[in-house]
């Protein structure tokens, strides 16, 4: 975003993101240990992920498949003949002293992701993806826990497959960064490659931020700062905003430019809402990358890629256009449903297919169901009413077998008890009534409310409302629409 400041300089925030996504495999990248989250410390390790001398890695083929899916979804090139490299650094949560990663031949590269600019709905942003490579996760350090302030190490997470997605520095505001991440997350969830659970660390974001300042006479760039391990979209947004202000202030104070100091790593302190310096080394890290001799390369054949592409789940964009085209939803309704994730879109599709009424299905879902899920902080998969049941209910309303009010009663009952539609109707005393019964009811009401009928006949159209309410009171099963129709026949006839 360009901001014009009093001294007539324009400042642009330049942002690139590195997103670590934990792939949804059952076992780790190079060994058979489970990747389940939240198990007791050091119970999901084996000699291989403990890095014991003599052990060797063997690639998990599922990680390759999931990485291919991401490449296909983000319109990237898949690199046939991708290679494994060792990235050397010492840290106690890295038992081998190197991380097995992909350096110059990542599995996939050069893609892009489009999303609507949150600050200008007219603009579609397109962010270039530089690469996405596979690597193993490190373990977890718990600092200052041991005697003498020692650090505790839990290696359960060590060796979990990660896909690191690296963007080009194409983002220009904190809001754009957040919108990009939301869009990315939606896509990853649709293709099922990760649960993207940020609290559990399945999706972690580092942001590279600097400023481009246009003075009247020159353009300068401030040194790049990497903000590490941002664990919520809100934190991404806040940290970038903070960093933009901090860098501008720092530049005003020192005039320091890119190249005049090494890249700094800062961490986001969510409590104080500031970034703090984590590391600044005079020497750039020398990771001494070299091809891992224990792992043969992975060569993707054209057939294999075509097969994977054929199996790729529908992407959110396709879902949205399908909802609009097949079920005649508005752009808005389709977006709301699709953004909820694949489970919600699938739920909708079942309800719509059974009820054959897309618009009504969308209304029920976006108004009733999503409100409840929001209140209870639950996912659609945990919702007590199945899509089949919901479909039957919407169908009954669509076919005028139920009025909306009675359908809501059934809906409320279903939230409490798992009953069939028939059982619920019976429980609530809902029965279909004959036209004779409706006509009898009209006759009774007309007889009892002569004054109101007169009012209506003299043009007070709203006089009918209380009569309909009265009829529902006398017989809750009467359809207001049918009653109104019969009443009008008598009154106007």
Partner 1 sequence: MKTCTPIFLLASQASFWFRFSICSLIVTLGGRKIVRCGNPSGREENSKTMDAKPQDVTGEVTMDVVRHLERLAYLQLSEVDRASLVGDLSKVLGYARSLTRLDLTEFEPQTHAMDQANVMRADDVQASSTLEQALANAPQAASPYLQVPRVLE
Partner 2 sequence: MTQQENLPALELSRRIRSGDLSVVESTRRSLAEVAQRNPTLNAFVEVWSDAALTRAAELDHKRVSGESTGPLFGVPIGLKSNLCVTGQLCTCASKMLSNYRPTYSATVCQRLLDADAILLGRTNMDEYAMGSGTEYSIYGPTRNPHFASGPNAVLEGYSPGGSSGGSAAAVASGMVPLALGSDTGGSIRQPAAFCGVYGLKPTYGRVSRFGLVAYASSLDQIGPIATTPEDLELLFQVIQGSDRLDATSLSREKVQQVEATLGHKSLKQLRVGIIREHAEQDLAPTVRRALEETKEYLKSVGATLVEVSLPKQAQAIATYYLIASCEAASNLSRYDGMHFGHRAQVPEKNATLEQVIAASRGEGFGAEVKRRIMLGTYALSHGYAEQYYQQATRMRQAIRQDFAAAFAEVDVLLGPTTPAPAFPIGAHRQDPIAMYLTDQFTVSANLAGLPAISVPIELTNFQPDESRLPVAVQFHAPPCGESRLFAVANALHERNQSAKLGAEA
Specify whether the CB–CB gap between 116 and 124 falls below 8 A. yes
Contact pattern from residue 165 through residue 194 relative to partner 2, giving x for each residue in contact according to CB under 8 A and a dash for the rest: ------------------------------
Among 114, 269, 294, 307, binds partner 2 (CB under 8 A): 294
Helices (H), 340-419: 342-355, 358-363, 370-376, 387-398, 404-416
Q: Any idea which residue has 């309909």 for tokens? A: 468
CA distance 362 to 337: 8
Among 59, 312, 372, 419, binds partner 2 (CB under 8 A): 59
Residues in region 295-324 near partner 2 by CB under 8 A? 295-296
Q: Which of the choices partner 1, partner 2, none does residue 36 contact, using the CB cut-off of 5 to 8 A by kind?
A: partner 1
Considering the complex, state which of residue 54 and residue 310 has its C-beta at the smaller distance from partner 2: 54
The distance of closest approach from Cβ of residue 482 to partner 1 in the complex, given in angstroms and rounded to an integer, is 47
Q: Which of the choices partner 1, partner 2, none does residue 487 contact, using the CB cut-off of 5 to 8 A by kind?
A: none
CA distance 246 to 268: 13
- Is 51 a binding residue for partner 2 by CB under 8 A? The answer is yes
The separation between the first and the last C-alpha atoms of the chain, rounded to the nearest angstrom, is 67
The distance of closest approach from Cβ of residue 213 to partner 2 in the complex, given in angstroms and rounded to an integer, is 31
Contact pattern from residue 235 through residue 264 relative to partner 2, giving x for each residue in contact according to CB under 8 A and a dash for the rest: ------------------------------
Among 293, 310, 459, 493, binds partner 2 (CB under 8 A): 293
Among 16, 71, 95, 391, binds partner 2 (CB under 8 A): 95
**31: how many CB neighbours lie within 10 A of its CB?**
20
The distance of closest approach from Cβ of residue 132 to partner 2 in the complex, given in angstroms and rounded to an integer, is 22
For residue 29, report the phi and psi dihedrals to the nearest 5 degrees: -65, -40
- Is 408 a binding residue for partner 2 by CB under 8 A? The answer is no
Q: Which of the choices partner 2, partner 1, none does residue 232 contact, using the CB cut-off of 5 to 8 A by kind?
A: none
Residues in region 263-292 near partner 2 by CB under 8 A? 284, 286, 288-290
Specify whether the CB–CB gap between 162 and 35 falls below 8 A. no
Contacts of 202 (CB under 8 A, 6+ apart): 21, 22, 37, 194, 195, 196
CA distance 24 to 30: 14
CA distance 30 to 161: 8
For residue 484, report the phi and psi dihedrals to the nearest 5 degrees: -60, -45
List interacting residues with partner 2 (CB under 8 A). Answer: 47, 50-59, 86, 88, 90, 92, 95-98, 153, 155, 284, 286, 288-290, 293-296
């Amino acid at each position: 975003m360009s901001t014009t400041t009093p001294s007539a300089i324009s400042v642009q925030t330049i942002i690139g993101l590195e997103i670590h996504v934990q792939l949804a495999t059952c076992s780790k990248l190079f060994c058979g240990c489970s990747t389940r989250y939240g198990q007791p410390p050091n119970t999901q390790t084996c000699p291989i992920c403990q890095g014991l001398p003599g052990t060797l890695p063997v690639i998990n083929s599922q990680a390759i498949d999931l990485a291919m899916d991401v490449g296909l979804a983000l319109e990237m090139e898949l690199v046939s003949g991708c290679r494994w490299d060792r990235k050397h650094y010492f840290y106690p949560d890295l038992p081998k002293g190197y991380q097995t990663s992909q350096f110059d031949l990542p599995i996939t590269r050069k893609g892009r992701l489009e999303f609507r600019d949150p600050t200008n709905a007219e603009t579609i942003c397109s962010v270039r993806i530089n690469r996405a490579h596979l690597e193993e996760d490190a373990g977890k350090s718990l600092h200052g826990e041991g005697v003498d302030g020692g650090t505790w190490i839990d290696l359960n997470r060590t060796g979990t497959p990660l896909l690191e997605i690296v963007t080009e520095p194409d983002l220009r505001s904190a809001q754009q960064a957040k919108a990009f991440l939301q869009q990315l997350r939606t896509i990853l969830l649709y293709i099922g490659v990760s649960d993207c659970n940020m609290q559990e660390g399945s999706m972690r974001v580092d942001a590279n931020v600097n400023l481009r300042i246009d003075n009247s006479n020159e353009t300068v760039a401030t040194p790049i700062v990497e903000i590490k391990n941002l664990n919520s979209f809100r934190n991404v947004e806040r940290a970038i905003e903070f960093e933009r202000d901090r860098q501008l202030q720092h530049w005003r104070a020192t005039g320091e430019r890119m190249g005049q100091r090494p890249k700094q790593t800062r961490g986001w302190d969510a409590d104080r809402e500031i970034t703090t310096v984590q590391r600044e080394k005079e020497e750039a890290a020398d990771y001494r990358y070299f091809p891992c001799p224990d792992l043969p390369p992975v060569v993707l054949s054209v057939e294999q890629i075509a097969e994977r592409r054929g199996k790729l789940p529908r992407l959110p964009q396709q879902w949205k256009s399908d909802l609009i085209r097949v079920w005649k939803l508005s752009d808005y309704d389709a977006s709301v449903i699709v953004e909820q994730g694949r489970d919600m879109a699938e739920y909708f599709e079942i309800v719509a297919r059974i009820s054959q009424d897309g618009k009504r299905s969308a209304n029920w879902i976006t108004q009733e169901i999503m409100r409840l899920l929001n209140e209870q902080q639950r996912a659609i998969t945990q919702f007590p009413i199945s899509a089949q049941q919901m479909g039957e209910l919407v169908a009954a309303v669509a076919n005028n077998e139920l009025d909306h009010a009675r359908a809501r009663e059934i809906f409320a009952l279903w939230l409490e008890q798992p009953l069939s539609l028939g059982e619920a109707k019976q429980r609530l005393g809902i029965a279909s009534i004959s036209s004779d019964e409706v006509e009898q009811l009209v006759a009774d009401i007309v007889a009892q409310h002569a004054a109101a009928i007169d009012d209506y006949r003299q043009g007070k159209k709203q006089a009918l409302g209380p009569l309909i309410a009265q009829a529902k009171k006398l017989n809750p099963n009467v359809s207001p629409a049918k009653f109104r129709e019969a009443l009008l026949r008598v009154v106007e006839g």
